[in-house]
Amino acid sequence: MPNNYAGRFEIVARLKRLAKVLRHHLPFGSQQTEDSSLRWLKAMMRASVVAPLLLLLIVAVHAYIDENRAARKRVDLDARIVQEHALKVLETAASVAGRVDDIVNADPMLLSRANERQLHEKLADMSSGISQLQSVWVCDEEGNCLASDHFYPMPIGTSIANREFFKTLKRTAMPVALSGILRGELSGRNFFSLARRRQSSDGHFRGVISVGLSESYFVDFYRSIASTDKDLAVALVREDGTALLSYPTPANGIGVFPPGSAVMQAIRYGGSSRGAVYSDLDGMRRLVVVRKVGEYPVYIAVGVLRSTVMARWRGRMAMAAGFILPATIALVLLCWTALGKVGREHAALSQLRSEMARRITAEEALMRAQKMDAIGQMTGGVAHDFNNMLQIISSNVHIIRLRLPDAGIDSQLAAIDRARLSGESLTRQLLAFSRQQALRPEAVDVEQRMPSVCELIRHSLGANIQLECMTEPGTWAIEVDPSQLDLALFNLAINARDAMSNGGRISMRAYNVSAAERSETRADLRGDFVAIVVDDTGHGVPEEIAERIFEPFFTTKDVGKGTGLGLSQVYGFATQSGGTVTLKSIVGEGTTMTIYLPRAHMQTSKRPVQDVFDASYAAKGRLLVVEDNVEVGEGLAQLLGEVGFTVTLVHSAVEAIQILGSDAAFDLLLTDLVMPGNFNGLQLARLVMLNYPTLPVILMTGYSSEVRKASAEGFTILIKPFQMSALITAIRERLDQEVERR
């Protein structure tokens, strides 16, 4: 509904602007003005094409940057995961190689052929349970393999002397080297090795310890990541460009990245310092992030398909074009139509002006009526549903009290009752604010009311606002509408809170007003009054706007942060109650708002904390209860059954008619007023009065526009959430009336 109203306001605004243009640019009989208007409309038509296209271009650029940024974040996160995984695997392999080196250095005799079995068992124990390790080898300075965790005895002649990593470690002082991708001659599985250089204390080369890492272990991990990111590709690349492994495997197999490729350029700059690049990992164009794996001479490259990024961008552009292009066409057609109208007879312009004025007036009147009707319907619906929920709470609290009188939970049930009463107050405020409920002043005990109101306000202020409440002993009761009093105090507190963006203190105090202070209000106040003062330590109100502070819709808050109705409600409430409100403020020190409300001369009506009724009343009789809300109906049925009634519960008027038509005897009909379908509670009551004139009827409702009509027809009505004492009393009175009538 808000979007509908916004569209109507936009239409009215456009009509007004067009009327203004026609009035100023197209006066009757001016050919020069008509030519100027034609040029202006043509310019508007060109702008209606250029501006949306320019907007579409801006949206396209922004969406492209945004999608690339999102893709970079996604691939960078995956790259960090893969980097951490690779680092842990390599560190594990390096740790195993270091432990093997320590073992053979501590006992060089293990390298002899006679002790090969003992060394084999030690190697097997170390590699056991480490799934990423494929094999562990110990080789001498000539490349001859002395022992392995997989084979015993070691086949004579097994050598790695021709392996690239062995030659590198033999001729250089590098502590660790990585092999290219290898294939086990016996296992038939692909792997690559992390080799550690063995050397004497003087640095002389003594051989290598080679730890083989399984290719399938890496691929399985990459496949698990790709299960969530379907277009993910990962490569493990040595710093010389040799691809150790890749997922998914390119069609032409794993090879070497050319020196001029984007991946190699990123490796030269240390990987992540260059950010994301576009490159091919598996023969497909991808957005790639390259990261170095610790201090090892190896990098990970993680990428997502560029086509996926572009597809998302095209999807966003299609959505934007779906909004912009129809609007562009509509604007062009509108301008074209306007051009055609300008070329017609000038005599029709005066009629057009009057027609536009009439349409604008009618549109504004219609919108006002629809807006008020929508607010009324929405408020009524909220009140009805909320009152049903409160009725469920009320019924079940009473059932607990009846069934568990000595359970020791009276304080908890009293707290629930207080919360229910607060909910009733909030519902009345909704109805009162939308003018759906007549406001009824009553005597309000300020000493009793202020603490509960302050407690509700405190939850809306925030942790940096301190609220202090005080009522002087002996403060008189006041004659006001309680719900409007609550709303006024709430508005004053919220206004004070908004004036203290960095926190502060709000003080609320109530006291009886002396004659001298009453005269300072500059209002003709006669009689006794109570003053409720709200102080804050905010930035204060400047003198130039102090006199306008209570004007409707006047606000100094930013757009969207205030309507300007809060203080006007306070002023209206105070004056309509027979009092007034004053403002005192010093810029930089704070503001004091004082509401003067008349003293009550009627007896204060104190609501009971608990809802009780005469337990000695012997309830008897058969009741037919009609309630469409299952929980409300069941709560009422159980409660009425607890006090002695025999209850039959149905959930629609149709069911009630069927039961009544089956000659079932009932002493009273208790029905909800608002029910779904085409047959509501009032129609059911009328039918019962016509066909079963001896059957008393009580209507109940949370809110309904039919209440006044039902009351005018003489029906007894209970407004939800009603007190149980009111329900029992109403039933007893109606049954007694029927007995007397008979």
446-598 — its CATH code? Answer: 3.30.565.10
510-532 pLDDT tens trace? 999 876 676 666 666 778 899 99
Tokens of 682: 């009032």
Contact call for residues 298 and 236 (beta carbons, < 8 A): yes
Query: What percentage of the chain exceeds 90 in pLDDT?
Result: 10
Average pLDDT for 237-265: 81
Average pLDDT for 185-208: 85
What is the phi/psi pair of residue 647, to 5°?
-115, 135
Q: Is the dihedral of CA 13, 19, 23, 24 positive or negative?
A: positive
Show Cβ contacts of residue 207 under 8 Å, excluding neighbours closer than 6 positions.
Answer: 138, 139, 140, 141, 146, 198
Question: Measured between alpha carbons, how far is 15 from 10 in angstroms, rounded to an integer?
Answer: 9
677-713 pLDDT tens trace? 788 888 999 999 999 988 999 998 876 566 667 777 8
Contact call for residues 259 and 248 (beta carbons, < 8 A): no
Contact call for residues 224 and 157 (beta carbons, < 8 A): no
Lowest mean pLDDT of 39-43, 340-344, 594-598, name the range.
340-344
Q: Helix or strand or coil: residue 507?
A: strand
Q: For 682-686, which contacts have Cβ atoms below 8 Å and span 24 or more sequence positions? A: 682/706, 682/709, 682/710, 682/713, 682/715, 683/653, 684/626, 684/653, 684/656, 684/657, 685/710, 685/715, 686/713
Domain layout of the chain by residue ranges: 2-69+313-374, 72-307, 446-598
Say what the pLDDT of residue 326 is: 84
Say what the pLDDT of residue 662 is: 87
Say what the pLDDT of residue 364 is: 60
Cα–Cα nearest to 548, from 521, 576, 585: 585
Say what the pLDDT of residue 391 is: 67
Question: Measured between alpha carbons, how far is 447 from 484 in angstroms, rounded to an integer?
Answer: 17
pTM, whole model, 2 decimals?
0.41
Lowest mean pLDDT of 299-313, 356-370, 676-690, name the range.
356-370
Count of alpha carbons within 13 angstroms of residue 255, beta-carbon side = 13
Lowest mean pLDDT of 84-88, 155-159, 562-566, name the range.
562-566
Average pLDDT for 314-318: 87
Question: Measured between alpha carbons, how far is 147 from 567 in angstroms, rounded to an integer?
Answer: 90
∠ CA(570), CA(572), CA(578), 5° rounding? Answer: 105
pLDDT band at 427 (very low <50, low <70, confident <90, very high): low
Say what the pLDDT of residue 196 is: 92
Q: How many CB atoms lie within 10 A of CB 99?
A: 14
Which amino acid is present at 404? L
* Residue keyed to tokens 């009805």: 384
Cα–Cα nearest to 93, from 201, 150, 171, 178: 178
pLDDT band at 717 (very low <50, low <70, confident <90, very high): confident
The correct answer on CATH 3.30.70.360 for the domain covering 72-307 is no
Contact call for residues 98 and 195 (beta carbons, < 8 A): no
Contact call for residues 78 and 302 (beta carbons, < 8 A): yes
CA dihedral of 430, 434, 435, 438, whole degrees rounded to 10: 0
Say what the pLDDT of residue 679 is: 87
Using CB atoms within 10 A of its CB, is residue 197 exposed (0-12), middle (13-18) or buried (19+)?
Answer: buried
Cα–Cα nearest to 16, from 419, 497, 325, 360: 360
Say what the pLDDT of residue 272 is: 58
Q: Where are the beta strands (DSSP E) in 367-497?
A: 442-444, 465-471, 478-480
User: Helices in 289-409 by DSSP H: which ranges?
Assistant: 306-342, 348-403
